[in-house]
Amino acid sequence: MTGPWERLDRPPLNAAALRRAITTGDRPAWRALEVIAATGSTNADLAERARAGEPEGLVLTTDDQQAGRGRLDRRWTAPPRSSVAVSVLLRPPVPPARWAWLSLLAGVAVTDALQRTCGLEARLKWPNDVLVPVDGEPRKVAGILTEVHEDQQAAEHARAAVLGVGLNVHQDGGELPVPTATSLRLAGAATTDRDTVLRALLRALSDRYAAWCAAGGDPRAGGVAAPYRERCATIGAAVEVHLPDGGRLPGVGEGVDDEGRLLVRDGSGTLHELAAGDVVHVRPGAPGAPGANGCPPVVHATPAERA
């Protein structure tokens, strides 16, 4: 047997029920929701719509994302109906300089959903990874990618952001992209029903986004900065940051500032403000780990990973 019901433990999304839950009622979370049976990338599909002038609030999700993309154009795939792949079109009415908080805001929303609905102590790795504990070790369960696009039409709100979330749900160990990743099932989530998880994620994202927009993009007044910092495992961790120019910066994550930049103090005591970079949480005693050169000890650690 092949098709959407070939595995009863991995049923297809219920498009009609999701649409009713997310787009109707007294407080609809989003304007519209579309479920596609299969696609290359929900972010790429939604980007085309954004450039053509699609209004804010369209949600695009799929049962089978065949060419998912992460940061630095990394590619990943997952078996059909084993994960949540969803993208949302946003046109934030806030200064563009504050749009850097969109990925961080989404990370907080994903942890909201995983804590409330799945019963997992979800944490964040700056800037865009969601971690959950498996046998006492943090493992990556989700990644977030936000891309900014310009409309092809001349319009008052020409800029749009496509915010995508990829969340591992049903995969077993052999189906994960790297050994250090995990899925909700492997992490012992209270539910692995993709409809339930997706509804919770989209409602949490709507609530966080609305509050942030109402505050003009101010992460403190919008209620984003404090929960992000509380849940960020990079703060206090020994790290090695792989920089966009190819360099590497070892140090300790000291915080995230109000511009969403990671603050890293190196072994000489210099504080670096990083707007971009790939963060590796370094285990104590590992080659290159801060600590021996005078940096504080690690608080949270996990191997490098890319799901």
Q: pTM of the entire structure?
A: 0.89
Residues 205 and 130 placed together within one structural domain of the fold:
yes
Q: What is the pLDDT of residue 236?
A: 97
Q: What is the CATH number of the domain that holds 141?
A: 3.30.930.10
In a domain, 128, yes or no: yes
In a domain, 205, yes or no: yes
Residues 223 and 256 placed together within one structural domain of the fold:
no
Instruction: In whole angstroms, give the CA distance from residue 181 to residue 276.
Output: 22
Domain that holds residue 194: 15-229
Q: Does the structure show a pLDDT above 60 at 285?
A: no
Q: What is the pLDDT of residue 298?
A: 30
Residues 87 and 73 placed together within one structural domain of the fold:
yes
pLDDT digits (tens, 9 = 90+) for 31-85: 999 999 999 999 999 999 999 999 999 999 999 998 755 554 555 678 999 999 9
Q: Which long-range contacts (CB under 8 A, 24 or more apart) does 209-214 make?
A: 209/90, 209/92, 209/105, 209/109, 212/92, 212/94, 212/101, 212/105, 213/92, 213/93, 213/94
Domain boundary (229, 245, 278) is at 229
Residues 140 and 178 placed together within one structural domain of the fold:
yes
Q: What is the pLDDT of residue 156?
A: 53
In a domain, 184, yes or no: yes
Domain boundary (164, 198, 229) is at 229
> What are φ and ψ of residue 43, in 5° steps?
-65, -45
Residues 146 and 131 placed together within one structural domain of the fold:
yes
Residues 212 and 135 placed together within one structural domain of the fold:
yes
In a domain, 2, yes or no: no
Domain boundary (169, 194, 229) is at 229
Question: Tokens standing for 69?
Answer: 């993309």
Instruction: In whole angstroms, give the CA distance from residue 127 to residue 106.
Output: 10
Residues 101 and 238 placed together within one structural domain of the fold:
no
Q: Which of 82, 249, 96 is nearest to 176 (CA)?
A: 82
Q: Does the structure show a pLDDT above 90 at 291?
A: no
Residue 31 CA neighbour count, 13 Å, CB half:
9
pLDDT digits (tens, 9 = 90+) for 218-260: 999 999 999 999 999 999 999 999 999 999 999 999 999 999 9
Q: Does the structure show a pLDDT above 70 at 152?
A: no
In a domain, 50, yes or no: yes
In a domain, 261, yes or no: yes
Residues 49 and 95 placed together within one structural domain of the fold:
yes
Instruction: In whole angstroms, give the CA distance from residue 166 to residue 27.
Output: 25
Residues 244 and 213 placed together within one structural domain of the fold:
no
Edge-to-edge order in the sheet of strand 248-256: 271-274, 262-265, 248-256, 238-242, 278-281
Q: How many domains does the chain have?
A: 2
Q: What is the CATH number of the domain that holds 260?
A: 2.30.30.100
Residues 32 and 150 placed together within one structural domain of the fold:
yes
pLDDT digits (tens, 9 = 90+) for 97-150: 999 999 999 999 999 999 999 999 999 999 999 999 999 999 999 999 999 998
Residues 152 and 265 placed together within one structural domain of the fold:
no
Burial call 96-125: b when 16+ CB within 10 Å, e when fewer: eebbbbbbbbbbbbbbbbbbebbebebbbb
Question: Tokens standing for 30?
Answer: 């989003």
In a domain, 68, yes or no: yes
Instruction: In whole angstroms, give the CA distance from residue 251 to residue 274.
Output: 12
Residues 35 and 128 placed together within one structural domain of the fold:
yes
Give the largest CA-CA distance in the chain.
Answer: 62
Cα 113 to chain centroid distance, Å, stands at 12
In a domain, 245, yes or no: yes
